[in-house]
Amino acid sequence: MKPFNLERAIAGDPIVTRDGRPAQILAHDLSRRSLHPYFADKMIVAVGSGDTADPFLMYDLRGFMPTTGKPESSFDLFMTEPAPTVKYVNISSSDALGSIPGKLAMVFDTEALAKEHADIPIPGVTVEHLAVPITLP
Cα-Cα-Cα-Cα dihedral of 29, 31, 36, 40, to 10°?
90
Judge contact between 9 and 16, C-beta under 8 A: no
Give the C-alpha separation, 75 to 87, whole Å. Answer: 34
Q: What spatial distance separates the first Cα and last Cα of the chain, rounded to whole Å?
A: 17
Query: Interior CA angle at 112 toward 110 and 115, to 5°?
Result: 115
pLDDT digits (tens, 9 = 90+) for 65-94: 877 666 788 889 999 987 789 999 999 887
**Distance in angstroms (rounded) separating the CA atoms of residues 41 and 65:** 12
Question: CB neighbours of 6 closer than 8 A, spacing ≥ 6?
Answer: 28, 43, 61, 62, 63
pLDDT of 30-66, one tens digit each? 666 666 777 778 888 999 877 777 778 889 899 998 7
- Give the pLDDT band (50/70/90) at residue 97: low
